[in-house]
Chain A
Amino acid sequence: MGTLNTVILILSSVFVVIAWLHLKLRDYKKFQMWMGAVVACALAFLVIKSFEYKAKFDHYGIKLADNSIVTGHGLDDTIRYEGITSVDIDVARFNGEFLNTITDGSKPTFQLLVNGEPSGDPVELSVRSVAKIADDINAKLREKADADGKKWFPAMSVKLVSFVASEPFAIQMPRKKLRLQLPDAAKFRDQSLLKGTISAQTPGVTMKSLDLIDLRATDSETAEGSLVWKYISHAEETKKQFMEHRDHVAQKAAEGEEASFDDMLSQPLEHGEGHHYTSIVVPWEDARLYSNFTPKWNTYYALYFLITGLHGLHVLIGACVLFYFGFMSKKLWEKDPEHLTNRVEVAGLFWHFVDLVWIFLFPILYLM
């Protein structure tokens, strides 16, 4: 796809000078035709780029606790907590997010905990009802402060309220939505803390089909000791193939043939015809990092998206400018053709430079 895009940009660069020359020949029809080709090329470039981005967004990697890496498709980080009765809420930050993750159709009611004892009527929690409860508590605190002859400051208001649910409930959401995931509690981004246990249905982060196992950075003593083999499906068979290939490469290196370290410990997995899909379930505590192929995953993707993103933006802007000169500048053409010719030449210079930058980006980002 990178090659196709290089070809498209080079062609558009040729088209833009051809269009300009037709303008010099005072042939407006042909000028418009070539400008149309340039803009079409620019759009094709952006469409291809968007497919390229999409493929990266759908491609995932998991880094295990021992720095072994697997990549592939179909990542699922749904996590389920069960048996939740206790909820702590930060009243200033509460946004009701956890209420939307309650599953199994249950709609629990909650009682306020005062000095560890449930008190008051059961209420349905919402941003509004929590605010009201906090106001009530603050009013009482203020009354008490006044009665004690102390001055009241807003900083003295209640910060944390605890609730107990009428019956145990379960929550389920992507692990990513949690601020903190503990074995016995889930903390949301608004600091709501729910105590419960992780369901056996969601033992860890799962990936449906692996396409690469990379043990170059593993902290395990040997590649055989990597955590990958503990959690992968078809472990024995895959491990055997992996080690056979590693030994084969090592053998080649020992015989003085060209062989690379990368080849030994970073191996693609074959699947498709006659092969099964290899999947993995990494327990939550052993998944150090997981992400799709975006800046979070590694520095390469950070640079890739920064550089190609900025370049793509320049392509988009250039396409808009060339479109304007090609199809919305008829009046200027009739008034002063030389003026338009000059404009197109300068816009062309910009366009060539965008192409020139891509000429360097292509080998650096796609081929090496």
Chain B
Amino acid sequence: MADTPEEIHKHMRTYWKVGAVLLICTALTVIVAEITHSITVGLGLAAFKAALVALIFMHLNAERPLIYQILAYTVFFAIGMMFLTVLALYDPLVSR
């Protein structure tokens, strides 16, 4: 990341804009949840927001390929963990 004052001020404007987009997305999530209880839409919006935070606030967009490779593995396991909840379907208390 370049460190000239002009560059920094430019970044600052970007961050404010991203913040605004995040807030708009939050409002959108709430409104959508009122209309439809779709888990896909809710999580889709959340994924978009999370991507914004990770890429811009956490400067992932300026990272080296190695970081991306490691991240890919963690994402794989994180999503895999979500599927553990499927086991609940085989819960003897729930399934008869």
- Residues on A lying within 8 angstroms of B by beta carbon are 3, 6-7, 10-11, 13-14, 17-18, 21, 24-25, 348-349, 352-353, 355-356, 359-360, 362-364, 367-368
Contacts and interface: CB of A to CB of B under 8 A. Distances in A.
A13 B16 CA distance: 10
B94 to A, nearest CB: 10
Given A3-B30, A10-B19, A359 B58 contact: no
Nearest to A357: B50
Contacts of B58: 349, 352-353
B49 A14 contact: no
Contacts of A14: 15-16, 18-19, 22, 57
A13 B46 contact: no
A368 B53 CA distance: 23
Contact of B15 (A17, A356, A359, A367): A17
B19 A13 contact: yes
A176 B16 CA distance: 52
Contacts of B54: 352, 356
A73 B12 CA distance: 48
Contact of A352 (B8, B30, B45, B57): B57
A364 B33 CA distance: 11
Chain A interface SS verdict (over half): helix
Interface string B26-45: 10011001000101001101
Most buried by A among B16, B26, B46, B57: B57
Contact of B12 (A7, A13, A21): A21
B5 interface: yes
Given A359-B46, A363-B45, 5 more contacts: A10-B23, A352-B54, A353-B58, A359-B53, A367-B37
21 contacts: A7-B26, A10-B19, A10-B26, A11-B23, A14-B57, A18-B12, A18-B15, A21-B8, A21-B11, A352-B53, A353-B58, A356-B50, A363-B39, A364-B42, A364-B43, A367-B29, A367-B30, A367-B33, A367-B37, A367-B42, A368-B37
A359 B50 contact: yes
Nearest to B29: A363
A24 B3 contact: yes
B64 to A, nearest CB: 15
B62 to A, nearest CB: 12
B63 to A, nearest CB: 11
A363 B46 contact: yes
Nearest to B57: A352
Contacts of A367: 29-30, 33, 37, 42
Nearest to B16: A14
Contact of A362 (B15, B39, B46): B46
Contacts of B39: 363, 368
